[in-house]
Chains A and B, each alone.
Chain A
Amino acid sequence: MNHAYLTIFYRLILRPLSRESVRTALTTAAVALGVAVVLAIELAGEAAAGSFRSSVETLAGRGDFEVTATGGVPAEALTRLALLPYALRLRPRIEDYAVVAATNRVVPFIGVDMLADGAHNAEDTGSSEFQRGDFIRVGKEAGWKTGDRVRLIVNDESAEYTVRGIVDGAGDAIVTDLAPAARLLGRGTMLDRILVDVPASRPLEQWEAILRAALPDGLTLAPQGARTEENRRMLGAFRWNLRVLSYIALVVGAFLIYNTISVSVVRRREEIGIMRALGATRVGVLGAFLLEAACLGLAGGIAGVALGRLMATASVRLVAATVESLYVSSTPAPIALSWGVALAGIAIGVLVSVVSAAAPAWEASRVAPVEAMARGRRDHDVRMHQWRDLGCGAALALAAWWASRQPAAGGKPLFGYLAGLLMIGASALAIPSLVSVVARATGAAAGRIFGVEALLASRSLAGSLRRTAVLVGALSTAIAMLSAVGIMVGSFRQTVLLWMEDRLQADLYLRPAGAPGTDRHPTIAADLAARLEAIPEVAAIDQFRAYEISYEGMPATLGGGDARIAGRYGRRAFLSGARPAEVFAQLAGHDRVIVSEAFANKHAVKRGDTLQLALGGRRAGFRVIDVYGDYSNERGYIIMDRGTLLKYLPDPAPSNVAVYLRPGTTLEDGRRAVETALAGRKVMIFTNRSLREEAIRVFDRTFAITYALEAVAVFVAVMGVAGALLALVIDRRREFGLLRFLGGSTGQIRRIILFEAGLLGLLANIAGVVLGFWLSLLLIFVINRQSFGWTIQFHWPVAVLVSALSMVYAATVLAALYPSQVAAKLVPIEVIHED
């Protein structure tokens, strides 16, 4: 583009943009918010999801292999490896978690061989001291210094420890020697992991074969960090869905760019014609409008990156809380905004803007020289295409139906997302007809009821069909996502409430103190169970022990509960429809398991299949006798009878205990008796009701980020409405001037704009709720099921929807206040004589 073109571009495109600075700022802000949300979710997701490896894995350093086993690696394995005639570096480790009593923060608690690991530094007072159980070393990020006294809760015991050194690269972890760690955590001679570094003299495949041959059966040998990779894979679906939700604000922003450039083209049609007559080429015109969009995208992208960085800080805690609740223990890592990510954010802003502007820019390039078509005619043309658009919309809806029937691709609901996009497209194409029908049907009635202002507002919307359709499309897409996510979350919540109603039958639930975590299973001392059983008020207890396992390269939870008790009290719903008592009777004392629906869907496991599990140094097959509904975590459960579990993993300490009180015993009496029995132990007691409340609190916190994302999308759309109404005021200033000449008051002019906003909001709400309903079905029955494996019962969260939609409606009308003020302040004799 030469200098002359740049001059023309400045005069005809940039200068008008700067004259309408508020509207330009609103459009830029819409792009900025879209980019910011995408960037924030990416950065926050990376910080939250990437951090689970930090403390444990950073301390481990780079290594070749790791040996693990469900229930622990026997010390004998270490001996066998040590006896091999090779220069192997072996680093045995015990890895668990402790709770900092003062803050309730959960931190990794790691036992290492101080000499083998080299986890000491100049501040150390000598490794022999670390044989003492009350001496610990800590990572720098823990925030303590040498000499501090720290109270920690490990499993159900609380004790004071003295910080005797700071360890580099250990994050916020607590580090101690193997022997005291084993004592504290009750590991006996079991280790959690042996890290193996091999010489470079052979290929890794050969070393793997050598090591495997040396190890007892039932132990898992894998490249170091395999568990971290499993966690990353498991988090993949979560992050994908979050990412897709974050794109909604960008899609809404794209609608608004389309609208801005469309307005620009319609308004300058005559100018374009004149420019063409004066020698401008089609390509030149196309380029000018694309460049206008690129400028808006660039400004929005740059602002979006800065805003995204701030939003990431705000959202990382929400994302981390979800990761912690549903997936894996994690402490958010610092947010890292690299140049690459920042440039990608800006590029997204520019790309989305240019793509959104392509259609109106192309239309501009088709304007014939000296064309001066009246705007009424242009909008008439749009009306003429309504049937064609409706037909295309129907075709897209059919394609969406087809896509929604397709299975997941590579474990991701890609066709589900495609179906969602097609639905949004179908809705956008149907909107001109909706606007036309509703505006015309309600125009006369609105005029009769609300006066001439309502009539003029409805006629104006129907008359500017193209612009109205785009605006309604943008706002309705945001409302649809809000409704769809609202219905999905509401349905999920209701399903979880019903599930808890069935599942939680005991009167009291006990678990070790500290925040719960999906992958952490601290235990209660085994002797406590006997004490509980001896309480006269207690009818029965169900001890449940959980272990983290890896199944087919994905993390899962293995649990053991008392099948007899579950059979007697449980009302767990099985997918086969079998009665719980029958299923638990089959489970008791046999190598059989039941699995959760999430596990079954994730691993394509069904009733009658046999799972091969490595437990306690042995490999055994367990037949799946049924699948049950479960919503407590996404990784999925394999449950066996406690007797069977103890046969393979003979540690009797339970992770949690359900207590059933005798009939006639009050909850207060029962709780008091249990508290007395637990005296001195750090065990939390939940009543049935408080456990449900806690679960719902975690549920609501988990979906807070989802609502936040939708709120931003709606905010972007409402901002777009404000910008578009401002454009409308500028475009129709002569009309408003005329109304003043014809006896209209400034109040009436204001009311026309407010009625238009109200009508836009109404149309967007109608279209949004209809689209939202279909999208919610897609979310519940396709995307959610393919991503997480959960079956959710459909439920209308009426109160939530009504209040959310009312707020959006109110915001839309409020967004019109400023444009209405601008319209009222127009000087009629100036605008009417502009010709």
Chain B
Amino acid sequence: MPLLRFNRVSKSYASMPALTEVSLDVERGEFVALVGRSGCGKSTLLNVAGAMDFPTSGEVVLDGVVTSSLGEAALTLVRREKVGFIFQSFQLLASLSVVENVELPLLLARRRRARETALDSLSEVEMQGFAARLPYQLSGGEMQRVAIARALVHAPALLLADEPTGNLDSATGDAILQLLRRIADRRQTTILMATHSAEAAGMTDTVVRLRDGRVQDGGPA
């Protein structure tokens, strides 16, 4: 059973199709790149995969749970347990310190030992020395590492990354991609990454090409 299955999933916004009849299986520990032009449906696919949005039709199964049929409260629980997000613009809360940002998903889920787990997660991305800093005191690459630590802190089965290197220079972007590769290998975390970059796609196991909301082809990178 794949960790994530899209079965003929379609999604429209005000009758404008964003995804059309998308079928896709992603295995545990697989690092998948979603590539395609802007507006091709990459972000929509990530949102539907991450239980942030409902498909208009079709079925989404995440770790054995049919998320497309769940209500708002149940979807929140799925996100808390199974999904981590990384964004292009890092999305750290300016008023919280680095470690507070990282422990946030655990606090929202009312998990115990949040601080220790958050510090462990920061160590994993080599940011343990920055725990007390505020986001504006970090560089772009450092912010994205913190964002990755936050996405991993509750040990999700699925990590969704939307253009994680889009706001970074190439050297920093490479470092971030290597970090994601390591995470997929060491933790067996499934990663679904939307990207424009061919270099980024080259680091993944599988590349899925999207065009006008449809999967064009999928195969090894």
Interface residues of A (CB under 8 A from B): 374-377, 380, 447, 451-452, 455-456, 459-460, 462-464, 734-735, 738-746, 748, 828-829, 832-833, 835
Report the 5 A-B pairs with minimum CB-CB distance, sorted nearest first: A463-B95, A743-B80, A452-B107, A376-B94, A459-B95
Chain B positions 24-82 with a Cβ under 8 Å from a chain A Cβ: 43, 47, 50, 52-53, 72-73, 76, 79-80
On chain B, the residues within 8 Å of A738 by CB distance are: 87, 91, 93
Query: Contacting B85 at CB < 8 Å: which of A376, A742, A746, A835?
Result: A742
Query: Which chain A residue shows the least CB distance to B156?
Result: A743
Task: Assess whether B150 is interfacial by the CB under 8 Å rule.
Answer: yes
A451 to B134, CA, bound (A): 21
Are B89 and A742 touching (Cβ within 8 A)?
no
On chain B, the residues within 8 Å of A739 by CB distance are: 104, 108
Chain B positions 86-100 with a Cβ under 8 Å from a chain A Cβ: 87-89, 91, 93-96, 100
Task: Assess whether B213 is interfacial by the CB under 8 Å rule.
Answer: no
Are B93 and A735 touching (Cβ within 8 A)?
yes
Are B95 and A460 touching (Cβ within 8 A)?
yes
A712 to B205, CA, bound (A): 66
Cβ of A728 to closest chain B Cβ, rounded Å: 12
Are A375 and B80 touching (Cβ within 8 A)?
no
On chain A, the residues within 8 Å of B134 by CB distance are: 376
Interface residues of B (CB under 8 A from A): 43, 47, 50, 52-53, 72-73, 76, 79-80, 85, 87-89, 91, 93-96, 100, 104-105, 107-110, 134-136, 150, 154
Are A744 and B91 touching (Cβ within 8 A)?
no
Are B136 and A451 touching (Cβ within 8 A)?
no
On chain B, the residues within 8 Å of A456 by CB distance are: 93, 96
Query: Contacting B96 at CB < 8 Å: which of A374, A459, A744, A829?
Result: A459
Are A376 and B95 touching (Cβ within 8 A)?
yes
Are B43 and A743 touching (Cβ within 8 A)?
no
Are A748 and B108 touching (Cβ within 8 A)?
yes
A835 to B80, CA, bound (A): 24
A460 to B96, CA, bound (A): 8
On chain B, the residues within 8 Å of A746 by CB distance are: 72, 76
A703 to B73, CA, bound (A): 52
On chain B, the residues within 8 Å of A462 by CB distance are: 95
Given A452-B107, A743-B109, 5 more pairs with CB closer than 8 A:
A452-B110, A463-B94, A463-B95, A745-B76, A829-B43
Are A832 and B87 touching (Cβ within 8 A)?
yes
On chain A, the residues within 8 Å of B91 by CB distance are: 734, 738, 741, 832
Cβ of B118 to closest chain A Cβ, rounded Å: 12
Cβ of A763 to closest chain B Cβ, rounded Å: 16
Are A452 and B108 touching (Cβ within 8 A)?
yes
Are A455 and B107 touching (Cβ within 8 A)?
yes
A741 and B52 in contact, given A459-B100, A463-B94, A832-B87 (Cβ under 8 angstroms): yes
- Pairs across A and B, CB under 8 Å, 6 listed: A375-B94, A462-B95, A739-B104, A743-B108, A743-B109, A832-B91
Query: Which chain B residue shows the least CB distance to A745?
Result: B76
A455 to B95, CA, bound (A): 11
A455 to B115, CA, bound (A): 14
Cβ of B175 to closest chain A Cβ, rounded Å: 22
On chain A, the residues within 8 Å of B105 by CB distance are: 742-743
Are A829 and B47 touching (Cβ within 8 A)?
yes
Are A740 and B96 touching (Cβ within 8 A)?
no
A375 to B87, CA, bound (A): 19
Query: Contacting A374 at CB < 8 Å: which of B52, B79, B94?
Result: B94
Query: Contacting B136 at CB < 8 Å: which of A376, A460, A833?
Result: A376
Query: Contacting B95 at CB < 8 Å: which of A464, A734, A742, A829?
Result: A464
A743 to B106, CA, bound (A): 9
A828 and B94 in contact, given A451-B110, A742-B108, A833-B43 (Cβ under 8 angstroms): no
Are B50 and A741 touching (Cβ within 8 A)?
yes
On chain A, the residues within 8 Å of B88 by CB distance are: 835
Are A829 and B52 touching (Cβ within 8 A)?
yes
Cβ of B53 to closest chain A Cβ, rounded Å: 6
Are B85 and A741 touching (Cβ within 8 A)?
yes
A770 to B40, CA, bound (A): 59
Are A743 and B76 touching (Cβ within 8 A)?
yes
Are B107 and A451 touching (Cβ within 8 A)?
yes
Cβ of A373 to closest chain B Cβ, rounded Å: 10
On chain A, the residues within 8 Å of B52 by CB distance are: 740-741, 828-829
On chain A, the residues within 8 Å of B79 by CB distance are: 740-743
On chain B, the residues within 8 Å of A459 by CB distance are: 93, 95-96, 100
Are B93 and A744 touching (Cβ within 8 A)?
no
Query: Which chain B residue shows the least CB distance to A374?
Result: B136
A374 to B92, CA, bound (A): 12
Query: Which chain B residue shows the least CB distance to A463?
Result: B95
Are A835 and B76 touching (Cβ within 8 A)?
no
Are B104 and A452 touching (Cβ within 8 A)?
yes
Query: Which chain A residue shows the least CB distance to B82?
Result: A743
A279 to B87, CA, bound (A): 34
Cβ of B51 to closest chain A Cβ, rounded Å: 10
Interface centre among A460, A464, A748, A829 (most CB of B within 10 A): A829
Query: Which chain B residue shows the least CB distance to A452?
Result: B107
On chain A, the residues within 8 Å of B80 by CB distance are: 743
